Structures are given as structure tokens and as C-alpha cells.
Amino acid sequence: MGKPTGFIEYKRIEAKERSIKERIEDYKEYLLPQDEEGLKIQSARCMDCGVPFCQAGLIVDKQTVGCPLSNLIPEVNDLVYHDRIAAAYDRLTKTNPFPEITGRVCPALCEGSCTLGEHEPAVTIKDIERFVADKMTSSAKAKPRLPKIHSDKRVAVIGSGPAGLACADLLNQLGNEVTVFERADRPGGLLMYGIPNMKLDKSLVLNRVELMKAEGIKFILNAHIGSGYSFHELIQGFDAIVLCLGATQERNLSVPGDYLKGVVTAMSYLTSSTKNLLADKPLKNALLDAGGKDVIVVGGGDTGADCVATAIRQKARSVSQLEIMPALPPYRKNDNPWPLWPAVKRHSYEQEEALEFFGKDLKEYETTVKEILGTPEGKVKGVKTVKVNWSIENGKNIMKDISGSEQIRPAELVITALGFTGPEKALLEQLNLKIDNYGMPETENINYKSNLPMLFVAGDMRRGPSLVVWALMEGRQAAKQCNDYLKNV
């Protein structure tokens, strides 16, 4: 606790953003660098609360309480207040391998359980985390951590998303020889191609990978396990394998006309945009370019929001975002008390941009797609939507169409951001992995071990689609269990 009365004296001030007019003209991060003195004041708001729920990392009634990584948040805040940034970074990275990433893309579960947040706006924990990480990485003070111990064990980590990177990082620090296989042309998985540059600059991901290489981790790109690399080769060449392939099977729209040209998934759209941005000679895919088109984004989550923000930057003629569920309330409901994660409506960067670019909020709640209309040439020309009403019958949520609310909307590009159903099935079938009732590889919950002797599973592939911070936690836990296994083989 930096200052005993800080939470009384100082108000919450969040990180500033670039002007909307400026940022919608490029793909640079929309958040501005932070003021060091201001962040020290914000860290002083961390109170002597006795039980810091912010770092609890618990699941209560299927809801989150605090940081899944159990970051030592009050200690970090205290060190920042006393201008001991290097020590704060050291304390932060004891539990969080990539604070420069979570400080940007995490929804800040910690803040939802901040004790101060019970009656005042919570401490700006996420902003403080980003400040500490950026201060260290921008000044090149974040040096490679060379492992202090070495074994003769070799581990293959399949997938370089957040779970794979976190797993590889800790396995390496525990003295193992680690090789990461990634099927894409760049490392990072979801961090590289699933999150647009304006939220997470790709140089941060690439710089972190370079740091990991300097620590001894090997990366093999364009490596598609199951085709280019056989699983038999991995078994012969490694002592253990950790699958961190994510839950990349996107949910289908499943309405008449969903096969038409111009209906694309969110991941293909965002991946194309990022690849075009990073290419030496950009080659735009006309099918995945929103420029000059009427665009409809189906899905109201974060991924849908990122698609909206990308379409704005591509200068779409119009954009609509459809969300089938009702809007969340502005305040906690009685069945969602502190310190549970608050299920409330939040500020969203793309909504501000839409107001600037189109003069209105683009998100429409309780609206769903009934049919996609096409031209004789098989291209999308419009979408038929209907408003829906939700009610509770026999304890279940029931959705019904509202008669007379049908509407035909023009569209040349329909982006489906409906979430993910689980991991892709091909490799699971090839390996004969046991699958649970949710379509995920079946594992022993405590040790992340599959039914195959040397094979571990972590991240979204094991727990289902979730947040980056949960993937990091899963990767680290799987690394510990894999390391224990290697000690006995």
C-alpha cells in the first residue's frame, strides 16, 4: 500500500486515447503512452484492504473472482508508487509472463474484484500493468532470462498462441529444451492474427518472441502438424508434447444463403487485414475488404467489435453490428454481487469510432439474421433480420421472433463473429484422443494430461473459448505438470 489515504484523496483517471479522427485513419494503437507521475498517483489508490480479491484467481458459481494468474497486484502497486519500476516488473513477471500483452487485451478481471470498486471506481490495475511493462520493454531493461538449470529433456509445444507461449516460457525456465511449432507464417496465434493492431501492436508480440528465442526457445513456423509434420516424428524426437491449438472452430451462422460469396468468418477477415498491414507489398483480398461496402457484423462480442473497428478503417460505406442478446445493464444486478466479475455494459472503443464516422452507435441488440440474400451470380446483396424477445419459461431462457419486425438490409459483406465451438477435429481424430461431452480433449483436470502417455493439453483447446489471461494460466499450469512428468521418465 503506497499511501494509506490515497484511495480517499485521488479519483480514478484512466489512460488517454488518441483522437478518433486521427486513429481511424490508421491501424496504430488507439491508447496513448501513459504519464508516469499520473500512474504513481493511481497506484496510491490501492488500499490496505486486508484480503486482496483482485489477485484471488477463483471461480465461484461459474463466475470469475480476480486475476486467474494471481498477480501480486497490491505489491506491484506499492512498488510503482515508490518509483521502483524494475522491482515492480520483476514482481509482475513472477506470475504473468507477458504483461505488455495483458495490459492491453485483458478485460481486467482484477478490477472487477477490487475492494475499492465495491463503493468507488476500482484501481486502474490494467493501466498500471501496461505502464510497468512498457517502461521496461521500451528502455530495453527487460533482458533475456537465461535458465539457471538445464536438463536433457525435449518438449514440443504445438501452437504459439497465448497458452503455447506461456507454456514454452515456463518449460524453458525450468531447464527443458523447448521447440514451438506454429502453422502460420508468424508466431503468436490469436495474438498475431485474432486481435487487430490498434488493440495490440504486432511489434510487441514479435519482440516478445525474439526475447524468448534469446532465452533458448526454438520456433518453427509454417509447421502444420498432421500434414507437413507427422505426429509420429514428434513422438520420436521429443520426450513430451503439449497441445495448445486453441478453440479455432468458428460457429456457423447456419441460415439460408450462408454459402454466398461475401459471407466470411471474423477470423478470416481479421487475419486478412493484419496480413495486409504487415506485408511488404500489401495485396488486398477484395472479398475480405470492406472498403465502399455495406457491412453487417453478426455477433456483439469483442471479436465483433474488432471487426467493426477494422471495417471503419477500411472505409466501409455502412456498418451494422447485430447482437442476439439484450444489452447488459449499466450497474450490477442483485444476482451479480461484488467481488464477482461485473456483468455490466462497458465502454467500447469501436462504439466511439462509429459515432464519429457514422454519427450513431452501430450495435443493435435482440436482433438476429433469418436469411442472407444473394444475386444471380452468387454474391451477397442483403440480409433479412428480425427482432427477438427473450423470456424465462420453466427456468429456461426462451427466444421468440417478434412478428412484423422483419427487415431487409443491404449488404455486400457479412462477417460472422459468433464465437467458437472448440478445437478443429482433424488432429484430434488422427491422434485418437478421448473427447469429452463438449468436444474438447479429455484430460485429468489436475495435471492436464490426455489419455496418451506423453501428451498434455492446455488453453482454449482444453477449457473451451476463453480469455487470453486464462490461456496464459493454463499454459503455465500445463508446463508445471509436464515438467513433473519429465522428472520421472
Domains (range + CATH), the chain: 6-138 (1.10.1060.10), 154-248+422-486 (3.50.50.60), 252-418 (3.50.50.60)
pLDDT tens, residue by residue, 127-171: 999 999 999 988 777 789 999 989 999 999 999 999 999 999 999
pLDDT tens, residue by residue, 86-113: 999 999 999 999 999 999 999 999 999 9
Average pLDDT over residues 199-205: 97
Burial of 302 (0-12, 13-18, 19+ CB in 10 A): middle
Looking at residue 465, its pLDDT comes to 93
CA pair distance 156, 220, nearest whole angstrom: 10
Reported as a pLDDT band with limits 50, 70 and 90, residue 358 is very high
Beta bridge partners of 379: 261
- Measured CA distances, 441 to 58, 344, 452 (Å): 23, 33, 11
CA pair distance 415, 297, nearest whole angstrom: 5
**In angstroms, how far is CA 255 from the centroid of its own chain?**
28
Q: Give the length of the chain.
A: 489
Residue ranges of E strands in 117-270: 154-158, 177-181, 218-220, 240-243, 249-250, 263-265
Looking at residue 470, its pLDDT comes to 96
Residue 418 has pLDDT above 90, yes or no: yes
Residue type, position 86, single letter: A
Show the CA angle centred on residue 7, arms to residues 6 and 9, nearest 5°. 60
- Measured CA distances, 289 to 22, 94, 318, 378, 415 (Å): 21, 42, 13, 18, 11
Q: What is the pTM of this model?
A: 0.95
Residue 222 has pLDDT above 90, yes or no: yes
- Measured CA distances, 413 to 173, 269, 296, 311 (Å): 46, 10, 6, 10
Show the CA angle centred on residue 30, arms to residues 28 and 34, nearest 5°. 110
User: Is-contact 295 316, C-beta < 8 A?
Assistant: yes
Residue 284 has pLDDT above 80, yes or no: no
